[in-house]
Amino acid sequence: MVIASLRVPDDWRRFAAFACLFALAAFAFIGWMYLQAGGATLTTAVDDIGEAVAAGIAAVSCAMAARRTQGRLRLGWVLLAASAASWSLGQFIWSVYEVGLQIAVPNPSPADIGFIAAIFLAIAGLSSFASAPRGTSTGARLGLDTLIVFLSLLFLGWELGLSQVFADTSAPMEARLVNLAYPIGDILIGTVLLLAIRRATGETQGRLLLLLGGLAANAVSDSTFAYLNLSGTTAYVLDAGWVVGYLMIALAALWPSGVRDRSTETKPIDVWQLAVPWIPILAGGMAAIVLAILGHPLDVFSTVLAGAVIALLMASQVIAHRESLALLIQSRLSAATLNDVIVHAPLGVVRIAPDMRILQANPSFSAILGRPVADMIGEPIGDFFPPEEMALVDDRFRALANREVASTEIETQGSSVDGNAIWLHWTASTVRDPEGEIDYFLVMFEDVSERRSTEDALKAAYAELEGLVTQRTVELRAANERLATEAVSDPLTGLYNRRYLADFVERELSRTRRSANKIVFVMLDVDHFKRVNDTFGHDAGDEVLRAMSTFLRSQIRQEDLAFRYGGEEFLLVLPCTSLEGVAKRVEQIRDQIKSVTIKHRNKPLWPVTLSLGVAVFPDHGDSAEAVIECADNALYDAKEGGRDRIVYYDAAAAPAR
């Protein structure tokens, strides 16, 4: 991961490669011009062609930059590409005279058209690189800075040789005008470029510095060429300024940047940008001092230029003072307005230092806590809230400080001066200084105690209602279960009734049909039950029936079912695989009922006997109704045969009965 983070982007690697290549080419050209290898003729050819090639490279590089960019940036590169191409064309015409025809280039010549056009195209292109005004580079200050830079550069150029070009009367007027056009054009280019650098945003500063170096190198060669041309001398090494200059312009076009640089930047200009207008002033002053030491005092025009620059500097300082005073007044008015807003805000507003101490609190916050503002200033905010609440506050403010969130909202419980609990809603954000460090936290407080009380009351009411609903649900479920039980059970004995018999038996018969098992139906009847009712009353009869249900439940298995079929009749449904085992159980029921003691009003009744009729599914019928009817017929036979006995249904004997 560390290696990946240190990887140089491809754009910068490509830029570095071209920078090295152009530097080698520039050093090679300077070396050739200095050594004049191959003689004056070959050196002149390399000089002229090299300058044209360097300008052509700059034109191609700027054109490629224009294809990669958009908006004003594209226009700037197009104009710079046209400027370099125009200069390359002029140099090509110059080379035709010197290298091709081997004659002296006339002054002026057609080549000057390309050279001079390149100057105006470069000025237009550089103007497109200047972004929206920043800081003090606006309005009247910008106009004064423009004049100061132009006059300072003009003063510097005048002292370095422009005056001699202007004073030369031996050349024709058109030649003098052309010779003056180059240094004056370079001064205009320098003025525009210095102001563009002063107004440049972070994305454009690098390329503009390269452009400044390239155009400065061109300006040096232009000025020295004009001076040497006036004196009739030649210095090949000084021509390297054009090669170096255009290679630097080509390199500026390769500077890695976005396709559309920002056109506005809210932060003020940098200190070094603020000092840009002073650079030509300093250079001009040093040139004047050196010339004065060498015995060349200022002439009238230089003196006028120097006086104009001094006057403009004084005017610029006056305007700067007025702007600073206006900004100071505006700042104080803004601070007063902000303080009024805080003081009269209906919500509690507090400024909290990074160490969580209160810097400022308004009267609304004082009213919420019931404490004077003076008693809270300088105190930790945590003194007014429980420690467990401040743990949450500290976590949220830590997220604010680490830029994890832009703002945060919290609700905490506090206490007023009289000890009453209150709920406060916090809305907090950070205010940072120009370096990005936290200046203070700005927090707004709202008393939400009434809302929280209402919410708590609603929650309590909801909980109570939810409890009632739960209780009613349980009761309803129990009632439903009771109704369901009563729907299929006999209320007196608790055994299943005939309704459940109809639902259950058919399902059981369906399962039995798919297997080899059988179902035994046993109809039981209490012997002489009517005598019990007649002798002891119906209450005694009910006791007998309840005792019968308890007895039958104790005699059947989990898979067996007992029904009260009607009156004193009961039905047992016994799934089985062996009829022999069922016969033993039925006999056991008949025999053991006699030992059951049944009491009525604490007095035992006489022993109960049973008559039982047995039928088997599917042997005695293919439906429950048919088999039950067979068991009932067998029960009838048992009662007719003397009671207290078991009769198994016999299909052969049934018609005789």
For 472-498, the pLDDT digits (tens) are: 888 788 777 777 666 677 888 888 888
Whether the per-residue pLDDT at 261 is higher than 60: the answer is no
> Can you read off the two tokens belonging to residue 77?
């590169």
Q: Judge contact between 306 and 298, C-beta under 8 A.
A: yes
User: Of residues 326 and 47, which shows the higher confidence score?
Assistant: 47
Token pair for 51: 């300058």
Helix, strand, or coil (residue 602): coil
Sign of CA dihedral 61, 67, 69, 74: positive
What are 442's strand-pairing partners?
Answer: 351, 429
Cα distance between residue 600 and residue 273, in whole Å: 119
Please give the pLDDT value at position 3: 36
Examine the pLDDT at 499 and tell me if it is beyond 50. Answer: yes
Whether the pLDDT of residue 587 is over 50: the answer is yes
Name the residue type at position 640.
E
Percentage of the residues of the chain whose pLDDT score is greater than 70: 79
Least confident of 60-69, 303-312, 598-607, 614-623: 303-312
pLDDT tops 80 at residue 194: no
Helical residues (DSSP H) of 403-528, grouped into ranges: 449-488, 498-513
Bin 147: left if φ > 0, else alpha if -120 < ψ < 50, else beta: alpha
Q: Specify the range with the lowest mean pLDDT, choosing from 203-212, 378-387, 578-587, 645-654.
A: 203-212
What is the pLDDT confidence band of residue 138, given thresholds at 50, 70 and 90?
low
> Is pLDDT above 60 for 2?
no
* Lowest-confidence segment of 200-209, 456-465, 502-511 by average pLDDT: 200-209
First to last CA, the chain: 104
How is residue 396 written in tokens? 């949220």
Scanning 111-204, the segments in alpha helix (DSSP H) are 111-129, 139-157, 163-167, 173-198
Check: CB of residue 100 under 8 Å from CB of residue 142: no
Lowest mean pLDDT among 10-14, 128-132, 375-379, 526-530: 128-132
Query: Angle between the 278-293 and 173-198 helix axes, to the nearest 10 degrees?
Result: 130
CB atoms within 10 A of CB 356: 16
What pLDDT, on a 0 to 100 scale, did the predictor assign at position 140? 63
Give the pLDDT score at 383.
83
Tell me how far apart the alpha carbons of residues 264 and 358 are, in angstroms, rounded to a whole number. 37
- For the stretch 365-391, pLDDT in tens is 888 888 888 888 888 988 888 888 888
* Assigned token pair, 432: 């940072």
Interatomic CA distance for residues 421 and 412, integer angstroms: 10
Determine the Cα–Cα distance for residues 326 and 320; give it in Å rounded to an integer.
10
> For all residues of the chain together, what is the average pLDDT?
79
pLDDT band at 132 (very low <50, low <70, confident <90, very high): very low
Name the burial class of residue 426, with classes exposed (0-12), middle (13-18) and buried (19+) by CB atoms within 10 angstroms of its CB.
buried
Q: Which residue has the higher pLDDT, 610 or 219?
A: 610
Q: With contact defined as beta carbons under 8 Å apart, do 616 and 627 qualify?
A: yes
Cis before 108? omega within 30 = yes
* pLDDT at residue 266, rounded to an integer: 46
Q: What is the pLDDT of residues 398-417, one digit of tens each?
A: 888 888 888 888 888 877 77
* pLDDT score recorded for residue 336: 65
For residue 165, pLDDT beyond 80: no
Lowest mean per-residue pLDDT among 389-393, 398-402, 594-598, 648-652: 648-652
* E strands present in 285-337: none
What pLDDT, in 10s, does the model give residues 423-435?
888 889 998 887 7
- What pLDDT is attached to residue 320? 67
Per-residue pLDDT at 315: 75
* Structure-derived torsion over alpha carbons of residues 162, 167, 173, 179, reported in degrees to the nearest 10: -20
Higher pLDDT, 300 or 573: 573
What pLDDT shows up at residue 5?
40
Contacts of 156 (CB under 8 A, 6+ apart): 280, 283, 284, 287
Residue 346 φ then ψ, to 5°: -70, -20
- Cα(614)–Cα(636) distance, rounded to whole angstroms? 11
pLDDT at 269: 52
Residue reference for tokens 């050819």: 45
One-letter amino acid at 424 equals L
